[in-house]
Amino acid sequence: MCQIFCDEPYSTVTMGQFGGSVDGDAVNLLRASSLATSFVDLYLATRHEPYLAYARHIADTTVKFQNADGSFPYRVNPKTGTVVEQYTPDAIEFVELVEKLEPLGYDARRAMAAQRALEWMLAYVCTANNWKGVFEDVPELPVHSNLAHMAAQSLIRYLCRHKDEDPAYLPTAIRLNRWVEDQFVTFGPENEASPVRVKGPLVFEQFVCFWPMDAHAANWILTLIELHKATGEQVYLDKAKAAANAICQEQYEDGQFSTWGRDYETGVCPIDNTGGPPVNNWYNCHAYADVALYKLTLYVKSLR
C-alpha cells in the first residue's frame, strides 16, 4: 500500500487498495516518511517542485503526531487521527526523511522533532531491544514476542554516517549489528532454527516469519557497507560479500532470486516444494536485492 498525507486534516490519498490485511482502516504513520524520502530523490533528479513540496508536507504532518517522549504512534486512523496502535520502534524513518530534507532548506521544528525521535530510540529501544516487527499483516502481539531488525539496521546506518557527532554512536551501531546477527542471521545449513538449509549468510525476516529472505540479506549488506566505511574493519566487507554470494547462489535459471530460500543441495524451495521458481516469490524483494548487489559492486570498485 502506498499512502500519502494530503491537505485535509488527518486524511489520506492512496494508490491501490486502502488499508492492510491487519491494519484495516488504519495506516502505518511512519511508512509515509519512507515514501517521502523517495520523493526527495525524485526532486533531486527532476527538479520537479511538487515532489519536494509533498515530502515536506508529509514530514510536517508526521510531526503533529509525535508523543511527549519523542516517539511516534504506529497505526493511526487517517480520517479521525485516532491512534489505533501506539508502539513502534521505527522512528528512524522520520529521522532519515528530515536528514534528506535539511540540505534543501533547514526547518527548526522538523530538526527538533527528529532529534527527539533519535534520542528516544537510543534511550529506550536500544536499551530494551524492543524492536517490534511493523508489518501490515501482523497484529499487535506481546512485547518481545515478534522482533524484527529493519528499524535497527536503519539506525545502525544512520549512526555510522553520523559517527563523528557523538562518540557513543559507532559503538552503539556495532552492538546493534551484533544483536541483528545473533537473532536473525543464519550463517549456514547447519542452523537448526532455519526451515530451509541454505548457504549463508542470509537473514530471517521476523520472529513470526522466520524465513531466510533475499531482501533482508540485502538490507544487511547495506548495513555492512556503512559499518565498513565507519570502522575500516575488513570483517564487515567480507560478510557483505558473503551475503551477496548467498543471494546469488539461490538464483533460479530464469533470473529470479528466492524470497524464501532454496535447499543448498536440492534447490527445492519448501514453500511449494519444487525446484523451479515458486509461485510465492516476492518481486519487490528481488528489486531490493538488486539494489544491494549493485551498491556493493560499486562500493568494492571504489576501494580499488
Q: Which residues lie closer than 8 Å to 44 by C-beta, 6 or more apart?
A: none
Residues linked to residue 147 through DSSP beta bridges, in sequence order: 132
pTM of the predicted structure, to 2 decimals: 0.92
Q: Is the peptide bond before 201 cis (omega within 30 degrees of 0)?
A: yes
Looking at the chain, which runs of residues are DSSP E strands? 2-5, 12-15, 27-28, 75-76, 83-85, 185-186, 202-206, 209-213
Distance of alpha carbon 98 from alpha carbon 175, whole angstroms: 25
What is the Cα–Cα distance from 268 to 266, expressed in whole angstroms? 5
Pairing of strands 12-15, 27-28: unpaired
pLDDT in tens, the chain (304 residues): 333 333 333 333 344 555 667 888 899 999 999 999 999 999 999 999 999 999 999 999 999 999 999 999 999 999 999 999 999 999 999 999 999 999 999 999 999 999 999 999 999 999 999 999 999 899 999 999 999 999 999 999 999 999 999 999 999 999 999 999 999 999 999 999 999 999 999 999 999 999 999 999 999 999 999 999 999 999 999 999 999 999 999 999 999 999 999 999 999 998 877 777 777 889 999 999 999 999 999 999 999 9
pLDDT value of residue 18: 56
Interatomic CA distance for residues 201 and 132, integer angstroms: 23
- Measured CA to CA, the distance from residue 170 to residue 181 in angstroms comes to 17
pLDDT score of 15:
47
Domains of the chain by range and CATH? 1-124 (1.50.10.20), 184-304 (no CATH)
Rg from Cα positions in the chain: 19
| pLDDT the model gives residue 148 | 98
The three cell numbers of residue 292 are: 544491494
